[in-house]
Structure 1
Amino acid sequence: MSVMPKVPSYASGTSDKPLLGDTIGDNLGRTVRAFPDRDALIERASGRRWSYAQFAADVDTLALGLLSLDIGKGDRVGIWAPNCAEWTLTQYATARIGAVLVTVNPAYRAHELEYVLNQAGIRLLVTAERFKTSDYAAMVTEVRPSCPELEHVVPLATPVWERLLEHGRRGDPAALAERQAELSPDDPINIQYTSGTTGFPKGATLSHHNILNNGFFVGELCGYTERDRVCIPVPFYHCFGMVMGNLACTSHGAAMVIPAPAFEPAATLAAVEAEACTSLYGVPTMFIGELADPGFASYDLSTLRTGIMAGSPCPAEVMSQVIERMGMAEVSICYGMTETSPVSAQTRADDSLERRVATVGRVGPHLEVKVVDPHTGRTVPRGETGELCTRGYSVMLGYWEAPRETSEAIDAARWMHTGDLAVMDDDGYLSVTGRIKDMVIRGGENIYPREVEEFLHTHPDVLDVQVIGVPDPQYGEELMAWIRMKDGAAPLDAEAVRAFCDGRLAHFKVPRYVHLVDSFPMTVTGKVRKVEMRQAAVRLLEQSW
Structure 2
Amino acid sequence: MIRPVFRFNSPRACAPVLRRVQRQGLLTSSYAQGPTEPALLEQTIPEHFASIVSKHGDQNAVISRAQQTRLTYEELDQRSSSVAAGLQAQGVKKGMRVAVSLGNNIEFAVTTYALFKLGAILVPLNPAFNSPQVISALSHLSATHLIIGTETNLPFKSPRENISLLKQISPDLTSGSIESASVPSLQKVILVDNSAGRLDVSDFKSTISFNDLLYGQAPKTVTPDTPLHRDDIINIQFTSGTTALPKAACLSHTAILNNGYFIGMRMGLTPKDVIVSPPPLYHCFGSILGYMASATHGSAIVFPSEAFSPSATLLAIQEERGTALYGVATMFTAELELLSNGTIEDKGFEHLRTGIAAGSSVPSVLMGKLHDRLNLTGLTICYGMTETAPVSCMTTPDDPIAKRLDSVGRLLPHVHAKVVSVTEPGKVVPIGERGELAIAGYNVMSGYWGDEARTAEVRKTEKDDQGHEAVWMYTGDEAMMDADGYVHITGRIKDLIIRGGENIHPLEVENVLFAHPHVSEASVVGIPDEKYGECVAAFVVVHGG
Aligning the two structures, in what range does the TM-score lie when normalised by the shorter sequence? 0.7 to 0.9
**What is the aligned partner in structure 2 of residue 149 from structure 1?**
185
Is 1:269 aligned with 2:314? yes
Which residues of structure 1 form unaligned runs of 5+?
Answer: 489-545
Q: In structure 2, what residue type is equivalent to 1:410?
A: R
Given candidates 399, 405, 410, the residue that maps to 2:459 is 410
Q: In structure 1, what residue type is equivalent to 2:489?
A: V
Q: What is the Cα deviation at residue 197 of structure 1?
A: 4.8
Q: What is the Cα deviation at residue 301 of structure 1?
A: 0.6
Q: What is the Cα deviation at residue 198 of structure 1?
A: 4.9
Given candidates 429, 440, 448, the residue that maps to 2:497 is 440
Provide the secondary structure at the position in 1 that maps to 2:494: helix
**What is the aligned partner in structure 1 of residue 42 from structure 2?**
21
Contact 2:123–2:237 (8 Å) recurs in 1 = yes
Q: Which has the higher contact order (CA 8 A, sep 6+)?
A: 2
Contact 2:249–2:445 (8 Å) recurs in 1 = yes
Given candidates 139, 160, 164, the residue that maps to 2:165 is 139
Provide the secondary structure at the position in 2 that maps to 1:438: coil
Contact 2:151–2:160 (8 Å) recurs in 1 = yes
**What is the aligned partner in structure 1 of residue 366 from structure 2?**
318
**What is the aligned partner in structure 1 of residue 198 from structure 2?**
none
Given candidates 81, 91, 96, the residue that maps to 1:70 is 91
Give the whole-Å Cα distance in 2 for the aligned partners of 1:156 and 1:409: 37
Contact 1:333–1:360 (8 Å) recurs in 2 = yes
Q: In structure 2, what residue type is equivalent to 1:312?
A: S
Q: Which moved more, 1:138-147 or 1:118-127?
A: 138-147
**What is the aligned partner in structure 2 of residue 327 from structure 1?**
375
Cα shift readout 1:299-351 (whole Å, capped 9, x = no counterpart):
31111000011121111111121122211113332211110000011111222
Contact 2:94–2:225 (8 Å) recurs in 1 = no
Give the whole-Å Cα distance in 2 for the aligned partners of 1:479 and 1:199: 22
Contact 1:193–1:204 (8 Å) recurs in 2 = yes
Return closer, same or farther for 1:487/1:56 CA change in 2, 3 Å cut-off: same
Structure-1-length-normalised TM-score: 0.85
Return closer, same or farther for 1:212/1:355 CA change in 2, 3 Å cut-off: same
Q: How many residues align?
A: 480
Q: In structure 2, what residue type is equivalent to 1:322?
A: L
Q: In structure 1, what residue type is equivalent to 2:422?
A: P
Q: What is the Cα deviation at residue 137 of structure 1?
A: 2.4
Q: What is the Cα deviation at residue 432 of structure 1?
A: 0.9
Query: Residues 198-277 of structure 1: matches in 2 within 5 Å?
Result: 198-277=243-322
Give the whole-Å Cα distance in 1 for the aligned partners of 2:516 and 2:379: 24
**What is the aligned partner in structure 2 of residue 98 from structure 1?**
119
Give the whole-Å Cα distance in 2 for the aligned partners of 1:15 and 1:276: 35
**What is the aligned partner in structure 2 of residue 284 from structure 1?**
329
Give the whole-Å Cα distance in 2 for the aligned partners of 1:13 and 1:245: 22
Structure-2-length-normalised TM-score: 0.85
**What is the aligned partner in structure 1 of residue 428 from structure 2?**
379
Give the whole-Å Cα distance in 2 for the aligned partners of 1:299 and 1:391: 44
Contact 1:307–1:330 (8 Å) recurs in 2 = no
Q: What is the Cα deviation at residue 459 of structure 1?
A: 2.0
Provide the secondary structure at the position in 1 that maps to 2:144: strand
Q: What is the Cα deviation at residue 279 of structure 1?
A: 0.6
Cα shift readout 1:197-218 (whole Å, capped 9, x = no counterpart):
5553110001110100000000
Provide the secondary structure at the position in 1 that maps to 2:301: strand
**What is the aligned partner in structure 2 of residue 192 from structure 1?**
237
Return closer, same or farther for 1:276/1:15 CA change in 2, 3 Å cut-off: farther
Identity %: 40
Give the whole-Å Cα distance in 2 for the aligned partners of 1:299 and 1:264: 18
Contact 2:27–2:485 (8 Å) recurs in 1 = no
**What is the aligned partner in structure 2 of residue 392 from structure 1?**
441
Give the whole-Å Cα distance in 2 for the aligned partners of 1:360 and 1:27: 29
Q: What is the Cα deviation at residue 195 of structure 1?
A: 2.2
Q: In structure 2, what residue type is equivalent to 1:438?
A: D
Higher helix share: 1
**What is the aligned partner in structure 2 of residue 484 from structure 1?**
541
Give the whole-Å Cα distance in 1 for the aligned partners of 2:241 and 2:480: 25
**What is the aligned partner in structure 2 of residue 465 from structure 1?**
522
Contact 2:318–2:348 (8 Å) recurs in 1 = yes
Q: What is the Cα deviation at residue 245 of structure 1?
A: 0.5
Given candidates 215, 218, 223, the residue that maps to 1:166 is 215
